[in-house]
Structure 1
């Protein structure tokens, strides 16, 4: 028996073995290796890639907002979610999918603020939809324990009706995959699944995080989609918009930017933490025939405050246009 196929001897080996079976050994080794290296840097006071990993950052930002008299308002804003409605006009959409509704949730950071999670659960409860998709960032931090995030995601799964398809974001550990899948989330890790409705199909693809881990693979996710099939791609970040558009995807759903979260009056983001044009930072957009939507997300990061950028859950409706 080779070393790669040996029987796992401890919890870490068991996890790596299960992930290797699920994702393939290269993907599992790459993602786990980068996570371990990064966590060693965080705990060793090395380099970091997110503001929340600067120990003083949340307190400093909160202090400045309180000094300006904006903290309480911003916190209340973060718990007051909108339901946004968007239409994708797809002339080749199969007739059975006319009016098909997709509930889009992203950047939930479920262990960040219990009041926000409760607001999400309350907001989605009365909504009507045919399918739910989630585009990453379920954990508060980019490192450390996953139990709090998994607990919140379990409660969310209980509130979601029907199938729930998900991808991981840069805040999410690959260690969360078995737990999320055991809850009933369908993780799309550079994978595609056909979605059947009344005897016809569209194709739902999803890629692993393209922002920090760079483990996305659009080819692997999309190679088996028929050339004339309508495709929907889930990505945590909009940063791969250009390559996705040229790969031929019809619809691109993402998050990551939080729409800026703390914006200037008029919703002008101070930063989007994303290497993409600013017009892709929030809402509907188009590129090379592909239609996209960047949700500002339901949760918050660093501090549970939003200014001039309300959180949302999104209902996307697929249509062939005027009949």
Structure 2
């Protein structure tokens, strides 16, 4: 076992995560919240590419995948401390950096002129679900350097736990079933994050929330929104996620063909709410399976915290 991982995560979490990865990381069927994992069925990728080429959509889809849009969203809560009214979080998700170099360049250009207080990243930094991760880190490095600290993140179903030390060396503080207090003008809010809940099933909400006072305003980072009910009943005020890509290849009007997720479609993209918890599912700034997008532009999001009057 990697000694640094054992120190960082605890030997039990590290041993579990590494063992599950080694046994199951490239499976198309079985494991995870969904029995079928489309992104791991690699024989279909070439077929999809061919179909899009025959339809004359592949070139347009590749161009669309590089046109990253800036979205804005307000998160309103009565128990937000007054000191954090107007506090802004920059949210990046699903970079799949080594497949999405043009999108990463566009994202880097976008973030340079933005005003925000903290950056969060909700997983899937690697294109494939197995193998090396050096190529994704090489593409991510100039992007992360363009971001303003502090930067917090979680891992997704495409990410190996072996990436964790390198990501943290790069400046991304991972929250792996952990929480951290964010202080401002004598007040605090709490940011928590869980390990991947979609495929590796290493999320532990109880552990992530253990350090959060019951009366405190708290935000949960989870790669997948599929644990929305658990998060709401655990007392989180907001939840930021990704994973779905909003469908990535959608019908005219933005209707997704699939979200590769076990959840109601209203949670598949953009802002939503559940049992008093505000949620937002980013469609991501990168692309998965193929570097194409149709009727679903990539995005980064600025979330502004607002205190309800």
Shared fold per TM-score greater than 0.5: yes
Runs of 4+ in 1 over 2 A off after TM superposition: 45-58
Distance 1:120 1:94 in 2: 31
Within the candidate set 261, 278, 281, 1:274 is matched to 261
1:52 positional shift: 4.1
State the partner residue of 1:35.
21
Structure 1 alignment gaps of length 5 or more:
1-12
Pairwise CA RMSD of aligned residues? 1.6
Q: What is the aligned partner in structure 2 of residue 22 from structure 1?
A: 8
2:297 is matched with 310
1:216 aligns with 2:203: yes
CA contact 1:205–1:232 (8 Å) conserved in 2: yes
Deviations 1:12-50 (A, max 9, x none): x4x2x21111111111111100111125x66xx997964
**3-state SS of paired residue (1:103):** strand
- Equivalences for 1:149-168 in 2 at 5 Å? 149-168=136-155
Larger Rg: 1
8 Å CA contact 1:98, 1:320 repeated in 2? yes
Q: Which residue of 2 aligns with 1:255?
A: 242
Distance 2:176 2:47 in 1: 36
Contact 2:38 2:260 in 1 (8 A): no
Alignment of 1:1-323 (within 5 A): 13=1, 15=2, 17-38=3-24, 50-321=37-308
The normalised TM-score by structure 2 is: 0.95
Q: Contact 1:93 / 1:230 at 8 angstroms: preserved in 2?
A: yes
1:51-82 Cα distance to aligned partner (Å, 9 max, x none): 34334322211111111111111111110011
The alpha-carbon deviation at position 153 of structure 1 amounts to 2.4
Structure 1 residues 46 and 216: alpha-carbon distance in aligned structure 2, compared to 1, 3 A threshold? closer
Greater mean deviation of Cα atoms: 107-116 or 235-244: 107-116
Contact 2:282 2:299 in 1 (8 A): yes
Aligned residues: 305
1:241 deviates by 0.4
Per the normalisation by structure 1, the TM-score is: 0.91
| Distance (whole Å) between structure 2 residues aligned to residue 217 and residue 46 of structure 1 | 23
